[in-house]
Chains A and B, each alone.
Chain A
């Protein structure tokens, strides 16, 4: 008991000295300060507006009653009777709506937090959410978003003060603008030390972002209605939204809200003080409903890259559905995503590969480079976890897909993959059949060819969805190997420019690819199987 009393006494003494210093150095005459208090501006906003916030913000005893009794001692106008600044109507601060001095809802109604340290409640909400979401962090940065109505309130209070005291000697127009700290900065100053303490990590330019989004729908909508040209703007906004195909209710709500807010900001900027005074009630009406706070977290996407081998002719690269029917029994994308997902938690996973092969073509050799983008990842995977992802895929029962060189990569590799894709060469092994047996001369003829240009019309099998075009492609080299123990069957090894249609190069696609293996060997050539044996990129090798 005595210890608490002592602490309280100490805090009171501190509050007193803060007030005395502020009164001497930065406050306007105390009757004006008291007037602000009585029109519902919170203690913190008063200190903030008069440039004394950083001294006062952490003092627990700076409550309205304390402030009032200090003013009563020093200013005659505050004396006597019940003062409106002490009313317990539970209204929020007429500027910050309780953002700097949170109020909390209890059963009996709104109760203001007397204890200034209640900002810690937000801190512990943040901390709990971080734990609940499973984020591992080594620091944080903080983003704060406030409703536009806060800025409007502040302007209204200033103009009200100007209207009321503008003729008094002490009032100078620039009294606020020189010293004011914004609500956002004020909140940051309050909450950052508290977050650092609670989370045990430092605030700074960290890639893990904590976002505090304060909104006040009632006040925002009310304010919006007061502004000129509202209906005009709204029509434009609606027609814009109408073109948007991503329509769902949460999206629309957010969209409307952020449009409202940016509209208010823009409109307020364009309004002269005189017009502002005619539109708004001065001082602003008291509001008892505090701001709504949404806490969210954001971490930039991470990339896990490697090369994949596809060992099945019944597995597509990405999930492929035609008329509700799945083509193939699985997909490389799903197999890899599933394993990444099991070990590295995020909000979403995107699969990117350097090119693709048909479902009935295997991907062998050194494999094909790919990336998995993990959105809003909860923790950066360790080397061991990356290994676990790899092991999980490689030890799967079905062995459709194998992974090589899996590692955490930075986002530059993304651009490298896109650039390299167009230039890269690919090597294939094709099982072919020819209508007449090939002679050694035939094999020799094929193997001396170097960088041969061919012309491919868009293959019939894709002509329904692609443009009809003639494409020139390069066959870098070829090698034909006889299949032992069979007649007319051969393995054709070839290296080509990316984008060459290999199946069509073998059978000629009704003469639409020229020359073709068939036309060069003057026989009918058919392709039975195709494997990619190498994707020639330095990437993720």
Chain B
């Protein structure tokens, strides 16, 4: 097996327990061995498995498409949907700016279980601006609630917005009251509806 070959040529690491996979007793070995026949060709991704995905097309402005991924624990991850107009600009997005109006959202440090310092924002509040070569687009919160974190990696690596807006390129995480979610839930499109609308396959 490939695994055993790899283990055989790996340098020995002192002080650790035996690390080759074959060191399990037979029973444990049998329990952890997966049944290759039952595995799907492509498993659902962590995002697909863990979140309900919702989309807002033309949010406040044409082509301003955003997503809201809702976790069963009530947290919402917000980012740019595949057909966002900024992603279609030549050269894509080159910068992100969390300095909107009076506050720089990247400078607020939320702390503790009670999420002290978290800003309470409205659905249509500006969350940040994304910039292309010659244009700037305002990104909205899309949900009403507490802003727990913004993705500060985007400030150093804005390209994540172009390459993986649906994962590492997410923009922010909100915590929302369940009642507030029920009020806005129906305004959003499902992933299927969004795909059909924008002709994505």
Contact = CB atoms under 8 A, between A and B. Distances in A.
Nearest to B47: A510
Contacts of A431: 34
Contacts of B148: 463, 468
A448 B10 contact: yes
Given A429-B32, A443-B3, A491-B32, A463 B20 contact: no
A510 B37 contact: no
Interface residues of A, number: 54
B6 A447 contact: yes
Interface string A497-527: 0000001000111110000000000001011
A464 B13 CA distance: 39
Given A362-B31, A510-B167, A493 B19 contact: yes
Nearest to A466: B113
A433 interface: yes
A456 interface: no
A509 B69 CA distance: 13
A52 to B, nearest CB: 67
B11 interface: yes
B36 interface: yes
B6 A489 contact: no
B20 A508 contact: no
Interface string A524-541: 101111010110100000
Name which of A362, A510, A526, A529 has the most chain B CB atoms within 10 A of its CB. Answer: A510
Nearest to B38: A486
Interface stretch (B70-78, B99-107, B123-131): B70-78
A76 interface: no
Contacts of A483: 34, 36, 39
A410 interface: no
B62 interface: no
A447 to B, nearest CB: 4
Interface string B22-37: 0010001001111011
A447 B11 CA distance: 8
A528 B45 CA distance: 9
B199 interface: no
B21 A479 contact: yes
Interface in A461-484: 461-468, 476-477, 479-484
Contact of B167 (A443, A450, A489, A511): A511
A478 to B, nearest CB: 9
A476 B6 CA distance: 17
B182 interface: no
Interface stretch (B52-60, B82-90, B168-176, B190-198): B168-176
Contact of B24 (A365, A495, A529): A365
B5 interface: yes
A440 B21 contact: no
Nearest to A486: B36
A468 B115 contact: yes
Nearest to A528: B43
A109 interface: no
A362 B34 CA distance: 14
A362 B27 CA distance: 14
A433 B1 contact: no
Contacts of B184: none
B77 A364 contact: no
Given A362-B31, A365-B28, A461-B71, A510 B170 contact: yes
Contacts of A489: 34, 36, 39
A311 interface: yes
A468 to B, nearest CB: 6
Given A364-B31, A461-B71, A533-B28, A444 B9 contact: yes
B5 A440 contact: yes
Nearest to A493: B21
Contacts of B31: 311, 362, 364, 531
B113 A467 contact: yes
A464 B75 contact: yes
Nearest to B5: A440
A510 B168 contact: yes
Nearest to A322: B72
A491 B9 contact: no
A242 interface: no
Contacts of B50: 460-461
A80 interface: no
B200 interface: no
B136 interface: no
B6 A440 contact: yes
A528 B167 CA distance: 18
B39 A526 contact: no
B110 A481 contact: no
Contact of A479 (B7, B36, B42, B153): B7
B122 interface: no
A509 to B, nearest CB: 8
A481 B21 contact: yes
A359 to B, nearest CB: 13
Interface in A309-363: 311, 362
B11 A448 contact: yes
Nearest to A536: B17
Contacts of A467: 111-113
A94 interface: no
A311 to B, nearest CB: 7
Given A468-B111, A482-B1, 5 more contacts: A429-B21, A457-B149, A477-B13, A479-B6, A479-B7
Interface of B: 1-7, 9-11, 13, 16-17, 19-21, 24, 28, 31-34, 36-37, 39, 42-47, 50, 71, 73-75, 77, 110-113, 115, 148-149, 151, 153, 160, 167-168, 170, 173, 175
12 contacts: A448-B10, A457-B149, A460-B50, A464-B75, A467-B112, A468-B115, A476-B16, A479-B21, A481-B4, A483-B39, A490-B3, A526-B44
* Those 6 A-B pairs whose CB atoms lie nearest each other, nearest first: A481-B3, A511-B168, A485-B36, A482-B2, A443-B6, A507-B46
Interface of A: 311, 362, 364-365, 427, 429, 431, 433, 440, 443-444, 447-448, 450, 457, 460-468, 476-477, 479-486, 489-491, 493, 495, 503, 507-511, 524, 526-529, 531, 533-534, 536
